[in-house]
């Protein structure tokens, strides 16, 4: 060794492995406009398809006349349900076990439903054609309010289900009922309420909203008649699942379907499901023999492809006088729109909503969910959350604040009193989950100390007094949120999509020069997988992250995986990467032992290679081992250095966090100002702190939007009134608050690298923090619960209703 020999720290830093704020690989192309998104795909002779959509929320389709449309220059075909019936594709299965019309078959069930698909030489001609398709409708009474879905005289929406008394998830109680799902011990819970000293009950609504990534849903389908092969470029969060679904419903051999998800401009759950546009573009390509592109516009995106939430949660907590919770009872009315197109694991019609006991030690709980149909767009998807987890977190976090108010206790103190204690992990919740790890008290106290929580409460008390004296018109709210997420779906024992277990996969192939490629079953939509996956490999096998290329999104080359959503990539695929890397490392150790002429057991891994124990000079770098793998492996060993891992997680992971929102509201205008927002996240082992922080910023901004105004709203006659970014609140840099981030680290005990996933935590934990801040601000004026979204007008309305404004 000499002065030029790098130190251990230098060798380690050179890897840019886990824990490093590695700059992103993706940014080189994205900052130069050289990303390759679906709309950038141009194939020779490519046609464009676009939809004729229904202006009515509920109507019978009497006649579709395409004769004038077919005379429009450039228009080649008009596809209707009748066309699709010839290939048995007028309806398609949803991920939730329901069926959905691809194109209107006899009637339409929501405004902007797909009625016909016009195929033309370019997007302008397609639009001309749409204007010439004449559709004759007979309007039917619309059903908008989910609370009226199961009225005796409610209109029949789904005529295809006539006489069906049970659906994919058990018995149906009414012609507009989809499923009832219940979990927990009803008897024990009812008993807890009977003897409770204190109870609260509130109907807490989580309004309908939309993930609305900046790039809409789109695809290019190209059918090769000679080979009988279908290639689909699409905005798919789960490309392999799409391939299987297409194979099953189009009856095409799976090996002849090539699904490619190129760069994706955000997903947030919008790009998990299968939409009519994909089916129509594929059929149009088969019919015309040419590639067909379908690109949704923003209005179509907001009004037709999957919405999120729309959960109406009647919530009750039983507690003792000193604030110890003794029972939780929740009934949810879930509005799924015209078709149940939920993107949940198959056995979970309400997702993982049974995480609703949250971070608290409830001795007993009972939950029942009723899904119903309405004349609205179908869904709903998990908008940056594990399945229905954000609804659950909002429900319990709002309810805990309501209980605190009733008990005249501080909301933070009430939470501290009821947290699951560190020694209770692994913790079995009353509604059936096994929480892997957590240290809630430490996280909560860190939040309170860092923000000066006690001083803020004191300031609030002074401001309230000043308000009552008429010295100010501003009120102040502190929104506490302590969430526990459940992510990483999931173990094959309880998670599948259409029968496919929700494992994920990684294949690593090392090349002779000490470089390699990792192919994945996941698909980044902005999460930076090309950067972070390489960091895990770098730490595991000692090859610099820069030397590892990560490839995702091509079903021909990637091992089968279930895709990226529900914060499952790090918990599931991240584990698969570590396991595949460890297989590489094990073989590398055998090669090193052979080359260094020692027994394998005499070697130890040292950052970037293997060293003979006790003989520091005898070292073989991973780079040299890669060369040896193609040159001089031990006798009897196959050459090469590659491995694949399919990882079936033993459990979910349970990230958590403590958030605080400090908000001031002017009662005369309803205008709020987020003075401060602090977010402490515990996602276990941190792979790239820069990316984690970025994810938290983005998720908080979405939470801010949802809580403070972002809503898909219908009027009483079924018109969607939030169909563009003019009406659908999309915060700009001006409205968006400044974010403070912090962390604790409680690794997952069952994950190979201890990571839990973080992408969705800020959306899950952020919404209750904002809503609790608003509610906390108004509480001293006598309110217990104000429904979201809390826009200026609603804040002013609340102040007026409470008598604070004349």
**Residue 417, token pair as written in the block:** 């009193």
| C-beta of 16 vs 98, nearer to another protein | 16
* Pairing relationship of beta strands 47-53 and 114-120 according to DSSP bridges: antiparallel
Active-site position among 385, 506, 626, 661: 385
Q: Which residue of 50, 263, 439, 504 would you call a contact of another protein, by CB under 8 A?
A: 263
| Contact predicate 149/373, CB 8 Å | yes
Note the Cα 741 to chain centre separation in Å. Answer: 21
Alpha helices, H only, 649-728: 689-708
**Considering the rule CB under 8 A, would residue 650 count as an interface residue with another protein?**
no
165 near another protein, judged by CB under 8 A = no
Give yes or no for a contact between 337 and 380, defined as CB atoms under 8 angstroms apart. yes
Long-range contacts of 12-15 (CB under 8 A, 24+ apart): 12/607, 14/544, 14/608, 15/538, 15/539, 15/542, 15/543, 15/544, 15/545, 15/607, 15/608
Q: Could you tell me the sign of the dihedral formed by the alpha carbons of 381, 382, 387, 391, in that order?
A: negative
Confirm or reject binding of residue 166 to another protein (CB under 8 A): no
Catalytic residue among 158, 329, 384, 388: 384
The rounded distance, in Å, linking the Cα atoms of 632 and 793 is 74
Cβ atoms of 773 and 479 closer than 8 Å: yes
Q: Of the two residues 300 and 401, which places its CB atom closer to another protein in the complex?
A: 300
Of 235 and 651, which CB lies nearer to another protein in the complex structure? 235
Stretches 440-448, 457-465, 608-616, 727-735: which one binds another protein (CB under 8 A)?
727-735
Q: Does 730 bind another protein (CB under 8 A)?
A: yes
Smallest distance, another protein to C-beta of residue 369, A: 29
Write out the two tokens for 700.
Answer: 């908080």
Least distance in angstroms from the C-beta of 674 to another protein: 12
Q: Which of 42, 225, 227, 469 is close enough to bind another protein by CB under 8 A?
A: 42
Which of 100, 237, 405, 527 is flagged as catalytic?
A: 237
Query: Do you find a cis peptide bond into 203, omega within 30 degrees of 0?
Result: no
How many Cβ atoms are within 10 Å of 364's Cβ, its own excluded?
A: 23
Residues touching another protein, count (CB under 8 A): 59
> Of 376, 306, 294, 378, whose CA–CA distance to 117 is shortest?
294
Instruction: Provide the 3-class DSSP secondary structure of residue 81.
Output: helix
Eight-class DSSP state of 227: T
Question: What does the DSSP 8-state code read for residue 57?
Answer: S
| From candidates 34, 71, 194, 251, binder to another protein by CB under 8 A | 34
- Identity of the residue, 332 or 385, whose beta carbon is nearer to another protein in the bound complex: 385
Active site residue 760: yes
Does residue number 387 form part of the binding site for another protein (CB under 8 A)?
no
Single out the segment in contact with another protein by CB under 8 A; choices: 187-195, 304-312, 569-577, 732-740.
Answer: 732-740
For the bound state, the minimum distance from the C-beta of residue 701 to another protein, rounded and expressed in Å, comes to: 4
Instruction: Decide if residue 408 touches another protein (CB under 8 A).
Output: no
**What value does the CA radius of gyration of the chain take, rounded to a whole number of Å?**
28
Interaction of residue 275 with another protein, rule CB under 8 A: no
Which residue in 11, 19, 39, 43 binds another protein (CB under 8 A)?
Answer: 39
Stretch that binds another protein, among 76-84, 243-251, 262-270, 649-657 (CB under 8 A): 262-270
Pairing mode, strands 516-520 and 504-510 = antiparallel
CB of 703 to another protein, least distance (A): 10
Q: What's the min distance (Å) between Cβ of 452 and another protein?
A: 15
Q: What CA–CA distance (Å, rounded) separates 347 from 499?
A: 9
Q: Please report where in the chains the tokens 């789109």 appear, as a residue.
A: 218
Site residues for another protein, 287-306, by CB under 8 A, read 297-299
Candidate ranges 213-221, 312-320, 534-542, 568-576; the one touching another protein (CB under 8 A): 213-221
- Residue 63 found at the interface with another protein (CB under 8 A): no
Q: Does 428 bind another protein (CB under 8 A)?
A: no
Regarding 28 and contact with another protein (CB under 8 A), the answer is yes
Residue 136: C-alpha distances to residues 90, 107, 113, 304, 743 (Å): 19, 11, 15, 21, 59
User: What residues contact 470, with CB distance under 8 A and at least 6 apart?
Assistant: none
Question: Whose Cβ is closer to another protein: residue 531's or residue 547's?
Answer: 531
Give the separation between CA 802 and CA 467, rounded to whole angstroms. 14
Contact flag: residue 24 with another protein (CB under 8 A):
yes
For another protein, the binding residues in 229-258 under the rule CB under 8 A are: none
Contact status, residue 382 vs residue 343, Cβ threshold 8 Å? yes
326 binds another protein (CB under 8 A): no
User: Would you state the structure tokens that stand for residue 702, as one six-digit string?
Assistant: 């979405």
- Binding residue for another protein, selected from 85, 725, 745, 793, defined by CB under 8 A: 725
Q: How far apart are CB 378 and another protein at their closest, in Å? A: 22
Distance CA 51, CA 301 (A): 12
Q: Which is nearer to another protein, 46 or 644 (CB)?
A: 46
Active site residue 172: no
Q: Residue 385 catalytic?
A: yes
Angle between helices 689-708 and 761-779 (to 10 degrees): 40
Instruction: Please say which residue, 24 or 256, places its beta carbon nearer to another protein.
Output: 24
Tell me if residue 646 falls in helix, strand or coil: strand
| Interaction of residue 215 with another protein, rule CB under 8 A | yes
CB 551 within 8 A of CB 519: yes
CA-based angle 657:658:662, to the nearest 5?
140
| Binding of residue 266 to another protein (CB under 8 A) | yes
Of 93-101, 214-222, 461-469, 548-556, the window that binds another protein (rule: CB under 8 A) is 214-222
From 61-69, 187-195, 329-337, 723-731, give the range in contact with another protein by CB under 8 A. Answer: 723-731
Q: Which is nearer to another protein, 190 or 735 (CB)?
A: 735
Would you call 506 a catalytic residue per the annotation?
Answer: no
Question: Whole-angstrom Cα distance, residue 437 to residue 486?
Answer: 11
User: Would you give the binding string for another protein spanning residues 669-708, x where CB under 8 A is met?
Assistant: ---------------------xx-xxx-xx-xxx------
Q: Is 199 in the site for another protein (CB under 8 A)?
A: no
Residue 527 in contact with another protein, rule: CB under 8 A: yes
Please name the residue ranges forming H helices in 474-630.
529-541, 575-596, 622-629
Could you give the angle at which helices 575-596 and 622-629 cross, rounded to 10 degrees?
Answer: 80
- Write out the two tokens for 605: 């891994």
Instruction: State which residue, 42 or 321, has the beta carbon closest to another protein.
Output: 42
Q: Is 724 in the site for another protein (CB under 8 A)?
A: yes
455 binds another protein (CB under 8 A): no
Q: Does 201 bind another protein (CB under 8 A)?
A: no
Q: Which residues are catalytic?
A: 237, 384-385, 760
User: Which residues of the chain form contacts with another protein (CB under 8 A)?
Assistant: 23-24, 26-37, 39-40, 42, 122-124, 212-216, 263-266, 268, 297-299, 525-528, 690-691, 693-695, 697-698, 700-702, 724-726, 730, 732-734, 736, 738-741
């Amino acid at each position: 060794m000499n002065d030029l020999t790098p130190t251990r720290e230098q060798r380690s830093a050179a890897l840019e492995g886990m824990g490093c704020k590695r700059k992103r690989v993706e940014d080189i192309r994205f900052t130069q406009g050289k990303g390759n998104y679906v709309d950038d795909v141009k194939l020779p002779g490519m046609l464009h398809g676009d939809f004729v959509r229904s202006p009515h929320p509920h109507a019978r389709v009497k006649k579709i006349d395409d004769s004038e449309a077919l005379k429009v220059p450039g228009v080649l075909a008009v596809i209707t349900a009748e066309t699709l019936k010839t290939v048995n594709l007028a309806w398609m299965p949803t991920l939730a076990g329901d069926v959905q019309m691809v194109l209107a078959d006899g009637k339409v069930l929501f405004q902007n439903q797909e009625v016909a698909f016009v195929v033309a030489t370019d997007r302008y001609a397609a639009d001309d054609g749409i204007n010439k398709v004449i559709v004759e409708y007979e309007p039917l009474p619309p059903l908008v309010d989910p609370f009226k879905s199961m009225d005796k005289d409610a209109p029949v929406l789904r005529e295809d289900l006539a006489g069906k008394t049970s659906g994919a998830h058990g018995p149906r109680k009414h012609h507009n009922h989809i499923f009832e799902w219940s979990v927990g011990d009803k008897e024990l819970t009812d008993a807890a309420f009977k003897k409770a000293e204190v109870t609260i009950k509130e109907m807490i609504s989580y309004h309908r909203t939309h993930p609305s990534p900046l790039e809409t849903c789109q695809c290019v389908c190209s059918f090769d008649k000679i080979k009988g092969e279908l290639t689909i470029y699409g905005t798919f969060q789960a490309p392999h699942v799409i391939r299987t679904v297409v194979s099953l419903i189009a009856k095409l051999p799976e090996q002849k379907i090539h699904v490619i998800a190129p760069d994706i401009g955000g997903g947030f759950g919008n790009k998990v499901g299968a939409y009519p546009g994909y089916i129509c573009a594929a059929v149009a390509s088969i019919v015309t023999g040419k590639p067909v592109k379908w690109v949704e516009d923003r209005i179509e995106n907001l009004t037709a492809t999957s919405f999120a939430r729309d959960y109406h949660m009647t919530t009750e907590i039983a507690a003792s006088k000193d604030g110890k919770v003794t029972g939780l009872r929740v009934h949810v009315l879930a509005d799924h729109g015209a078709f149940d197109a939920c993107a949940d694991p198959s056995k979970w019609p309400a997702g993982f909503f049974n995480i609703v006991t949250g971070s608290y030690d409830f001795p007993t709980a009972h939950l029942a969910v009723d899904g119903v149909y309405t004349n609205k767009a179908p869904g709903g998807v998990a908008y940056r959350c594990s399945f229905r987890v954000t609804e659950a977190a909002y429900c319990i976090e709002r309810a805990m604040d309501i209980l605190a108010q009733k008990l005249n206790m501080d909301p933070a103190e009430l939470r501290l009193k009821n947290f699951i204690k560190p020694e209770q992990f692994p913790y079995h919740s009353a509604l059936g989950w096994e929480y892997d790890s957590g240290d809630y008290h430490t996280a909560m106290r860190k939040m309170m100390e860092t923000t000066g929580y006690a001083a803020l409460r004191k300031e609030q008390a002074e401001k309230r007094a000043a308000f009552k004296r008429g010295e100010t018109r501003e009120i102040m709210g502190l929104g506490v949120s302590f969430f526990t997420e459940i992510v990483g779906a999931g173990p094959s024992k309880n998670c599948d999509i259409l029968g496919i277990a929700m494992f994920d996969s990684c294949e690593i192939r090392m090349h002779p020069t000490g470089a390699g490629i990792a192919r994945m079953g996941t698909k980044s939509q902005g999460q930076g997988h090309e950067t972070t996956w390489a960091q895990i490999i770098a730490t595991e096998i000692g090859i610099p992250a820069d030397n590892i290329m990560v490839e995702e999104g091509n079903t021909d080359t990637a091992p089968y995986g279930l895709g990226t959503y529900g914060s499952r990539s790090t918990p599931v695929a991240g584990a698969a990467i570590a396991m595949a890397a460890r297989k590489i490392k094990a073989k590398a150790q055998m090669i090193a032992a052979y080359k260094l002429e020692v027994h394998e057991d005499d070697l130890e891994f040292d950052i970037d290679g293997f060293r003979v124990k006790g003989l520091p000079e005898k070292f073989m770098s991973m780079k040299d081992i890669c060369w040896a793998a193609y040159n001089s492996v031990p006798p009897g060993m196959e050459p090469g250095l590659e491995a694949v891992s399919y990882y079936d997680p033993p459990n979910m992971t349970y990230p958590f966090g403590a958030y605080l929102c400090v908000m001031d509201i002017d009662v005369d205008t309803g205008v709020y100002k987020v003075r401060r927002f602090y977010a402490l996240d515990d996602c276990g082992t941190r792979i790239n702190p820069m990316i984690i922080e970025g994810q938290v910023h983005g998720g908080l901004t979405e939470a801010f939007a949802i809580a403070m105004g972002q809503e898909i709203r219908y009027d009483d006659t079924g018109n969607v009134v939030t169909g563009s970014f003019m009406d659908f609140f999309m915060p700009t840099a001006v409205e968006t608050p400044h974010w403070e981030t912090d962390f604790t680290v409680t690794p997952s005990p069952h994950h190979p690298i201890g990571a839990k996933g973080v992408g969705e935590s800020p959306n899950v934990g952020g919404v209750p923090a904002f809503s609790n801040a608003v509610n906390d601000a108004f509480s001293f004026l006598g309110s217990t619960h104000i429904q979201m979204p809390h826009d200026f007008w609603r804040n002013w309305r609340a102040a007026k209703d409470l008598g604070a404004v004349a």
